[in-house]
Chain A
Amino acid sequence: MRIAIASGKGGTGKTTVAVNLALSLAAHQSVQLVDCDVEEPNDHIFLHFRADQVRSVGKLLPRVDENLCTYCGKCAEACEFKAIAIIGNKVLVYNDLCHGCGLCAMVCPTGAITETPHELGIIESGEADGFQFARGVLNIGEAMATPIIHELKDELDPNHLAILDAPPGTGCPAIAAIHGADIALLVTESTPFGLHDLRAAVGVARSLSVPVAVIINRYGIGDDRVESYCAAEGIPIVLTIPFSREIASLYSRGIPFVKELAEWRDRFIVLYEALEKVATS
């Protein structure tokens, strides 16, 4: 089973849920935890992790040989992302806009375009606290997170449980992490922002045909609007985590709360069983 932990809104507790769920289940089964929030990965802060393997991830960028280029503009016309432009007798390549698809090189009638690798970031992997852990790290200044997330997913062992800590939001990086999951576990809080962004995240997951379940974090703040929404939409609320000083204090010291509050391990195991039901229903 593959669980994507997503949220829409940032700061709702995706990392808290991902790390505590992985720790709770690792005693009973083989677990892979993957930090897909490559712009700001932070699962490792709560884990004892030393990377065994580090590898580079990149995309292919077009390089144009201006001796061969006739400025016909076929590449610029073909590019969905406007990453290559012919302006006057100049070819401009916009590295940040390029998705590395290679179409420009395919349509070039004179063979002036070759594709060259460009590093976007790295993937670190190894063992952490009794399970397999991997994280992507986007290089500073790079804009495109999705190729790293796709490679993180390609490395998963489909025979074992995978927990993906997705990036916040509902843009391309979040979609890349949620796509192909058996369930999207959406972490929210019952505030106007929490509900607004939960709705957006539910929309994304449903458009990808991924079933959804909700965790309400900091339960007790705000009001009951998230519960009303979930009831109306038929979305199961599989766990509530109280707005508790004890949990916040452990978090602030980088300690996953299941390590100190043992009763929560069982709650995460029950949560997992509920997710299996939602994913297969």
Chain B
Amino acid sequence: MTICITSTGQSLDAPINPSFGRAPYFLFVDPETETAQAVKNTPGAHGAGVQAAQIVASNKATVVITGNVGPNAYQGLSAANIEIYVGAKGSARAALDDYNAGRLSLAQGPTGAPHGGRR
């Protein structure tokens, strides 16, 4: 299984990025070994959420951990049957612990406005 955590940096100790589509990095984490592979996100002027969903899907993640997810990203991730856990805080490692302990909530729809990563 692969978990994607939206991050401000390349390691599990970096703070998570609270918005999905314009997160600087996606950390693809193997929860068994707690090793992470960072993929840099370079969103363009338009459609950051759509592009990010494609990156996550093509890296075969089945779970996303983030702060908030906008409507376009939610639609894209849902199409790939990816579960989105929102409300993550602190480092990526802390967010992973919160996920494992069942402290994050599964998004039932978009939790952020479009262009949320630009505010």
Contact = CB atoms under 8 A, between A and B. Distances in A.
A39 B44 CA distance: 26
Interface in A78-96: 79-83, 85-88, 90, 92, 94
Nearest to A79: B47
Given A87-B53, A87-B54, A94-B72, A82 B44 contact: yes
Interface in B41-90: 44, 46-48, 50-51, 53-54, 57, 72, 75-76, 79-81
Contacts of B57: 87-88
A88 B79 contact: yes
Contacts of A88: 57, 79-81
Contact of B47 (A87, A90, A94): A94
Contacts of A94: 47, 50, 72, 75
A81 B47 contact: yes
A86 B54 contact: yes
A87 B44 contact: no
Interface residues on B, range: 10 to 19
Contacts of B72: 94, 97
Chain B interface mostly helix, strand, loop or mixed?
helix
A97 B54 contact: no
Nearest to B43: A82
A97 B47 contact: yes
Q: Most chain-B Cβ atoms within 10 A of its Cβ — which of A83, A86, A87, A90?
A: A87
Contacts of B80: 87-88, 90
A76 interface: yes
A125 to B, nearest CB: 32
Contacts of B76: 85, 87, 92
A132 B48 CA distance: 42
Per DSSP, are chain A's interface residues mostly helix, strand or loop, or mixed?
loop
Contacts of B48: 82
A86 to B, nearest CB: 7
B79 A81 contact: no
Nearest to B51: A82
Interface string A90-110: 101010010000000000000
A92 B80 CA distance: 11
Interface string A252-269: 000000000000000000
A80 B51 CA distance: 11
Contacts of A81: 46-47
B79 A97 contact: no
B79 A82 contact: no
Nearest to A86: B54
A273 to B, nearest CB: 41
5 contacts: A83-B47, A85-B51, A85-B54, A87-B53, A92-B50
Closest 10 CB pairs of A and B: A82-B47, A82-B50, A81-B46, A87-B80, A90-B79, A87-B57, A87-B79, A88-B80, A85-B50, A82-B51
Interface of A: 76, 79-83, 85-88, 90, 92, 94, 97
Interface of B: 44, 46-48, 50-51, 53-54, 57, 72, 75-76, 79-81
Given A82-B50, A87-B54, 13 more contacts: A80-B44, A80-B46, A82-B48, A83-B47, A85-B53, A85-B54, A86-B54, A92-B50, A94-B47, A94-B50, A97-B47, A97-B50, A97-B72
